[in-house]
C-alpha cells in the first residue's frame, strides 16, 4: 500500500485566483500538494469580461474587493483595478512557490470565468478553485463537484476559507491505494493529523478495510487514527465525515464506494476543502 507507484500523477497544478479568501486558500493548499508531489504550480488570474461589460453601463457601482471604495466606475477604472488585483495575485503565487521551492509561473487571461477556467484546465493534472469565489457566483455557477467532477479533465481541489487550514487531513478509504499514498505525502508535508475513514457497503466490508488501513498506518510510521463507516445513505456519510472536523477531505472518484456518492451533496454539506481524484 505504500508503494510510491500508486501516487496519482499530478505534475502540473493550476490554481484560479480572483482575490477571494477561498481562492487564496486554494493557492495555499495547491502549493502544499505541489510540494508533496514535486509538481509545477501555475497561477491563473482572470479578468472577468462580464464585469468589464457591466462597467460600461450608464450607472455601475464598484465591487470594493476589486475596485476599491464603493462608488461609480467605468471600464477604464475596472481594467486598472484588474491590473492591481492581478499584481497582488502574482505576488501571492510567487511567495507560495518560494516557500516550498516550487517551479511556478503566473498567467493573466481575459474572458468569461467558468468557460476560461475549464478551457485552461485541460493542460493540467489538478485544478484548484475557491469553493465560494465571487467570480464563480457571478457567473451563475456554484463550484461544486457536481459540475466540476464532470467538466474538469483532471483532479479537482475545492478549497474553503483559511479556517480549514488547521483541521486534520481525512482520507476516505474504500480500497483506493491512491488516496492512502497521497494522504501519506500530504500529511508529511503539511504536518497535519491524519484520519482514515474506512468505508464499506456493509459492516464486514468496512471492518476489513479498517484493518487494512490501520496496518498501512503502522507500516508507514504515521501518527493517525482509523474510523469505520458503513455507507447506508448519503446523509450518514456527510454527517459522519463532518464529525471529524476535517481541514481537507480526500476522495478518489475511481473507488467503488466513492463512485456511487453524490459528490455535489458531499461538497455542499462539507465545511472543509475537498480534493477529488479522478
* DSSP letter for each residue of 208-249: HHHHHHHHHHHHHT--EEEEEEE-S-HHHHHHHHHTT--SEE
The separation between CA 55 and the C-alpha centre of its own chain, rounded to angstroms, equals 31
Q: Name every residue whose Cβ is closer than 8 Å to that of residue 80 and which is 6 or more positions away in sequence.
A: none
Examine the domain organization and report whether 101 and 219 are in the same domain.
no
Examine the domain organization and report whether 39 and 148 are in the same domain.
yes
DSSP H/E element including 200: strand 194-200
Percent residues over pLDDT 90 in the chain: 21
The mean pLDDT of 212-238, rounded to a whole number, is: 80
Last residue of a domain, one of 159, 192, 221: 159
CA 257 – CA 266 distance, rounded (Å): 13
Examine the domain organization and report whether 135 and 180 are in the same domain.
no
Among the listed residues 198, 195, 229, the one whose alpha carbon sits nearest the alpha carbon of residue 212: 198
CA 102 – CA 93 distance, rounded (Å): 10
Total number of domains in the chain = 2
CB of 192 closer than 8 Å to CB of 36: no
What is the CA angle 90-166-173, rounded to 5? 100
- Is a pLDDT exceeding 50 seen at residue 269? yes
Last residue of a domain, one of 107, 128, 159: 159
Last residue of a domain, one of 159, 181, 204: 159
Examine the domain organization and report whether 151 and 193 are in the same domain.
no
Most confident of 97-101, 219-223, 225-229: 97-101
Between these two residues, 75 and 236, which has the higher pLDDT value? 75
User: Domain range holding 64?
Assistant: 4-159
* Residue 170: strand, helix, or coil: strand
CATH number at residue 245: 3.40.50.620
- Is a pLDDT exceeding 50 seen at residue 205? yes
pLDDT by residue (tens digit) across 226-263? 989 887 655 566 666 666 666 788 888 888 877 777 66
Question: What is the pLDDT at residue 230?
Answer: 86
DSSP 160: -
Examine the domain organization and report whether 49 and 131 are in the same domain.
yes
Q: What average pLDDT does the chain have?
A: 77
Examine the domain organization and report whether 155 and 171 are in the same domain.
no
Sole residue written with cell 505576488? 91
Examine the domain organization and report whether 51 and 142 are in the same domain.
yes
DSSP 181: H
Examine the domain organization and report whether 199 and 128 are in the same domain.
no
Examine the domain organization and report whether 153 and 176 are in the same domain.
no
CA 132 – CA 110 distance, rounded (Å): 20
Examine the domain organization and report whether 139 and 28 are in the same domain.
yes
Examine the domain organization and report whether 102 and 121 are in the same domain.
yes
Alpha-carbon dihedral angle through residues 259, 16, 105, 248, given to the nearest 10 degrees: -50
- Is a pLDDT exceeding 60 seen at residue 3? no
- Provide the pLDDT confidence category of residue 139 given band limits of 50, 70 and 90: very low
Examine the domain organization and report whether 40 and 153 are in the same domain.
yes
Global pTM value: 0.78
Most confident of 98-107, 114-123, 132-141: 98-107
CB of 134 closer than 8 Å to CB of 18: yes
Amino acid at each position: 500500500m505504500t508503494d510510491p507507484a500508486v501516487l496519482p500523477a499530478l505534475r502540473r497544478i493550476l490554481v484560479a485566483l480572483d482575490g477571494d479568501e477561498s481562492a487564496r486558500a486554494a493557492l495555499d493548499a495547491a502549493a502544499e500538494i505541489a510540494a508533496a508531489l514535486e509538481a509545477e504550480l501555475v497561477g491563473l488570474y482572470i479578468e472577468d469580461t462580464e464585469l468589464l461589460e457591466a462597467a460600461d453601463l450608464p450607472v455601475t457601482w464598484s465591487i470594493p474587493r476589486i475596485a476599491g471604495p464603493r462608488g461609480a466606475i467605468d471600464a477604464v477604472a475596472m481594467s486598472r483595478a484588474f491590473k492591481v488585483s492581478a499584481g497582488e495575485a502574482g505576488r501571492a503565487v510567487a511567495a507560495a512557490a518560494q516557500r516550498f521551492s516550487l517551479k511556478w509561473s503566473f498567467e493573466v487571461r481575459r474572458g468569461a470565468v467558468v468557460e476560461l477556467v475549464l478551457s485552461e484546465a485541460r493542460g493540467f493534472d489538478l485544478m484548484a478553485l475557491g469553493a465560494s469565489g465571487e467570480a464563480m457566483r457571478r457567473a451563475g455557477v456554484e463550484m461544486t463537484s457536481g459540475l466540476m467532477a464532470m467538466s474538469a479533465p483532471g483532479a479537482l481541489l475545492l478549497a474553503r476559507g483559511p479556517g480549514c487550514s488547521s483541521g486534520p487531513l481525512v482520507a476516505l478509504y474504500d480500497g483506493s491505494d491512491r488516496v492512502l499514498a497521497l494522504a501519506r505525502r500530504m500529511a508529511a508535508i503539511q504536518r497535519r493529523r491524519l484520519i482514515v475513514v474506512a468505508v464499506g457497503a456493509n459492516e464486514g466490508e468496512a471492518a476489513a478495510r479498517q484493518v487494512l488501513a490501520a496496518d498501512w498506518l503502522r507500516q508507514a510510521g504515521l501518527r493517525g487514527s482509523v474510523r469505520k463507516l458503513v455507507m447506508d445513505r448519503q446523509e450518514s456519510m456527510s454527517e459522519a465525515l463532518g464529525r471529524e472536523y476535517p481541514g481537507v477531505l480526500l476522495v478518489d472518484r475511481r473507488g467503488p464506494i466513492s463512485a456511487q456518492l453524490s459528490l455535489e451533496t458531499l461538497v455542499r454539506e462539507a465545511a472543509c476543502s475537498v480534493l477529488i481524484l479522478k
